[in-house]
Structure 1
């Protein structure tokens, strides 16, 4: 299964599709914004369909009928850990692009659940749910309603199941577009796990007084990590501290080595002897997109070279 990173801004933005171990580039798609919430990644749909048709003269559909069961991706919208909505996107083989957004009322932080959501709008006032179907260069400040028959979205915004129907119309129009969406995905992948180790042996530079530290990182999926820390040493009542930071491309299978130099911030050089280190390694989960972190603290033995 692939994920596609998406923005919820109103402008068109290019999107990329990442597989675990491969990268491809997809076409641009029109996305829209909503009240401030968290956004998960968009995932390829394993099994699903989006179909809709409009009355004669209806603006968004052009009075036509559309049905798609390929080129579908979806993402859940999350507010304070609560899955409040879902986006469904189509990149069709004929070049068509569509986006459907269904969300509960803003401000209440209620999970999207089976039921009928009336009084919805593309740009809803507080307390009103959101509905918006747009695409192929057409959008409007739509109003309408949707009904959810079944839904299962995890706290990370992974959409496992969605069955819903919807109807919307543009402002002042009597013509409507009506449709239904059905999605089914497998169990979500496990989050990427990290490990960080700092070797107990380090070097105090004779010339620059820096502390050269080294260690390893581990990961269950390929991920770029920002690895950083603080080295502290107290000798004869004088404390020397220095920070380091380095970038590590972690790949699973074996510990990946790293090394970095901590420059003393006080001007007092590091010396041979005991020291301590507090370290962290952070990155973005390559599937879910949230920050993942591993920590370490322990002793160091500095030698001179």
Structure 2
């Protein structure tokens, strides 16, 4: 599963997914979103090329080319720190973010935001000796010019995608991770808003079907 972020708060949320080791970028654009033009996109090694580099804020730049479509994603932690697993809230447009803010920008195919607000989650990341990313699981959400419509993306590169969730508008109390293929189940008490079932001990192989349920209190 690519990083899944529930969008509706409630007493019980559930996510269902299939594990995959493919390199892929999924984009979901709301109606009215300028960058994605209200469309959904799926890029994999079969229909696109992916090139990663380190940007000048010590973050990650991803360039995607697919036929006539081209995109650039930039992610950066506050204070030029190296990106690590965690949730990065209140992001603003890279590279113009304040030193105390995360930087985020997804643009391309002739379209970009003048200003933006958003957030992103890093579920897992690895680097080579030069600090260039060699594996990444992440998700992001951005809003151009303070508008309500959003562009949401889920990215998995050179790693089995995480069995994870990031909750918004919900104070979690318990997570239940079920591998429907093997039958393994984990139920764990946690108030973490970023939770990965694999890191908690769920055994997952490519192709396995997994369900994640969250019990908590709506904010």
Aligned structure 1 segments of 4 or more residues deviating by more than 2 angstroms? 76-79
The answer to whether 1:76 aligns with 2:49 is no
In 1, Cα distance between equivalents of 2:99 and 2:143: 20
Q: What's the CA shift for 1:157?
A: 3.1
CA deviations on 1:94-143 (whole Å, 9 max, x unpaired) are x10000111101xx342210000011111211210111000110001221
Cα-Cα RMSD: 1.9
1:143 is matched with: 117
Q: Give the structure with the larger strand fraction.
A: 1
- CA change 1:89–1:127 in 2 (3 A) is same
Would the aligned equivalents of 1:76 and 1:153 in 2 still touch at CA under 8 Å?
no
In 2, Cα distance between equivalents of 1:155 and 1:127: 26
The answer to whether 1:167 aligns with 2:138 is no
1:303 is matched with: none
2:83 is matched with: 112
Alignment of 1:150-189 (within 5 A): 150-184=124-158
SS of aligned partner of 1:139: coil
1:52 is matched with: 27
2:217 is matched with: none
Would the aligned equivalents of 1:103 and 1:131 in 2 still touch at CA under 8 Å?
yes
- Tell me the TM-score normalised to structure 1 length: 0.41
Q: Which runs of 5+ in 1 are unaligned?
A: 1-45, 186-305
Q: What's the CA shift for 1:47?
A: 5.3
How many pairs does the alignment contain? 133
SS of aligned partner of 1:148: strand
Q: What's the CA shift for 1:172?
A: 2.5
- Tell me the TM-score normalised to structure 2 length: 0.57
Which protein shows a greater Rg? 1
Q: Which runs of 5+ in 2 are unaligned?
A: 1-20, 160-219
